[in-house]
Structure 1
Amino acid sequence: MSIGVIIVLIVIVIVAAVLAGAAALSPRARSAFAGGGLKSRFGPEYERTVARHDGDTKAAERELDERLKRYGSLHEQPLEPSERERYTARWTAAQERFVDSPRDAVAEADRLLAELAGARGFPDGGRYEEQLDALSVHHPHHVHGYRRLHRAALAQTDGDTEELRAALLDARGLFEELTAPARQEQAAPSEETPARTPARDAGKSRHAWTFHRQHAKGS
């Protein structure tokens, strides 16, 4: 028997052993492998979904797996620099409005996030639950901030000012992800979108600090 034939036979035996091992895995073990992948993909959203299903991990994983199948291939649409500037200006205006009218500011921020997500290619704001599910697949670490903001916007009472402020700040993470420049823009800024300078960044930081201080006075 030639060496080549022996090698082929060895490979066949190894492949057969691997397939047999995979087939021998219990459904519970296969579920554990799948669950591990979903937990890694969804991060904090995985734990929230399990909690919403009263600890039933199988039910939670079925839901998350369905979300992944429906929206995993969704391609986020880029924003034009001018669009990004308009959204950023509107978000800043909502923050400034919070001092005099917290509920109106939260409602405006909620509408803005819904519109922004639609512009990026997610289901439009009129289909909030679908939009939320799609966002949870692509932005699992920040989607809860949007959920919290939306609940605050729909609340029938004025609510606690601190809670409204916390909801607005929590939702900012998703806003920043949705308005972040594409990688190619960050690598090679054009004349229309000049690279940020330390002075501009410092100004932005001062504005964020002003937001916190002003709101603390208005509480």
Structure 2
Amino acid sequence: MTTVLIIVGVVVVVAIAGYFLQRGRATGAGGLKRRFGPEYDRVLARHQGDTKLAEQELGERVKRHGSISAQPLSAEARERYTARWTRVQERFVDAPEDAVAEAGDLLDELSRDRGFPETGSAEDRAEALSVHHGAHVDAYRRVHGARDGSGGTEELRKDLVGARALFDTLLGNPTGQQVERGRTDMDKQHDAKGSVTS
């Protein structure tokens, strides 16, 4: 009987250790790098290469925002958002800074509708977005940072194209096709403006 209890105890301990080992892999360096993408490198650089501090910060983000689950959008809401983004791109031709600022506001609204936090600063929202959309969160920061007016038109165009990838992801569109279409539309508008002014 004692032997059976010892064997059962060992099996339970091994199972628990396996669980925590697997969980550690999912949130450890490799798991965090995969989850956060370029955001991992950004946080690591901010902590001057201190992996432990960077991973602690990212782990805290996962604890705070990892349970956010995307709220569905109705077909009508998707159409409204798509139409609004098209207007943002069209506005870029005449007012690039205003269009990029409007894109930031549109991303805020769309992310709230999808279940991300409503309150806090743009950086708070960026941190929440980074847990689920690490590959695109830099574009979110750039459109919010573009409000200071320091970027040229080409830089603003790149910011808007990058933001389109996050927009499509939040909307639920496959990003590749939508981003390429958005880039082509903006390039045509940019070329048309150039030919009119030259």
TM-score (norm 1): 0.72
| Pairing of 1:162-173 with structure 2 (within 5 A) | 162-173=154-165
Give, in whole Å, the separation in 2 of the partners of 1:125 and 1:216.
Answer: 39
Q: CA RMSD in A?
A: 3.4
1:142 is matched with: 136
Pair 1:155 & 2:148 matched? yes
Structure 1 residue 210: Cα displacement: 3.0
2:104 is matched with: 110
Give, in whole Å, the separation in 2 of the partners of 1:214 and 1:80.
Answer: 30
Give, in whole Å, the separation in 2 of the partners of 1:12 and 1:207.
Answer: 60
Task: Flag the 1:120–1:16 CA change in 2: closer, same or farther, 3 A.
Answer: closer
Q: Deviation per CA, 1:146-189: give whole Å up to 9, x if none.
A: 1111111x2144x31100000000111110011116xxxxxxxx
Give, in whole Å, the separation in 2 of the partners of 1:75 and 1:206.
Answer: 28
Question: Is the CA contact 2:85–2:103 (under 8 Å) kept in the aligned structure 1?
Answer: yes
Give, in whole Å, the separation in 2 of the partners of 1:175 and 1:13.
Answer: 51
Q: Deviation per CA, 1:24-73: give whole Å up to 9, x if none.
A: x9xxxx79x82222222222211111012111111111110000000111
| Pairing of 1:83-122 with structure 2 (within 5 A) | 83-122=77-116
Which amino acid letter does the alignment assign opposite residue 147 of structure 1?
A: R
Give, in whole Å, the separation in 2 of the partners of 1:17 and 1:126.
Answer: 43
Structure 1 residue 15: Cα displacement: 4.1
- Secondary structure of 1:106's counterpart equals helix
Give, in whole Å, the separation in 1 of the partners of 2:122 and 2:54.
Answer: 20
Number of matched residues? Answer: 187
2:74 is matched with: 80
Give, in whole Å, the separation in 2 of the partners of 1:13 and 1:104.
Answer: 65
2:170 is matched with: 178
Give, in whole Å, the separation in 1 of the partners of 2:128 and 2:65.
Answer: 5
Q: Of Structure 1 and Structure 2, which has the larger fraction of its residues in helix?
A: 2
Higher Rg of the two aligned structures = 1
Which amino acid letter does the alignment assign opposite residue 164 of structure 1?
A: L
Give, in whole Å, the separation in 2 of the partners of 1:65 and 1:161.
Answer: 37
State the identity as a percent: 52
Give, in whole Å, the separation in 2 of the partners of 1:56 and 1:180.
Answer: 35
Pair 1:47 & 2:22 matched? no
Give, in whole Å, the separation in 2 of the partners of 1:173 and 1:56.
Answer: 30
Give, in whole Å, the separation in 2 of the partners of 1:161 and 1:65.
Answer: 37
Question: Is the CA contact 1:115–1:125 (under 8 Å) kept in the aligned structure 2?
Answer: no
Structure 1 residue runs of 5 or longer lacking an equivalent are 182-200
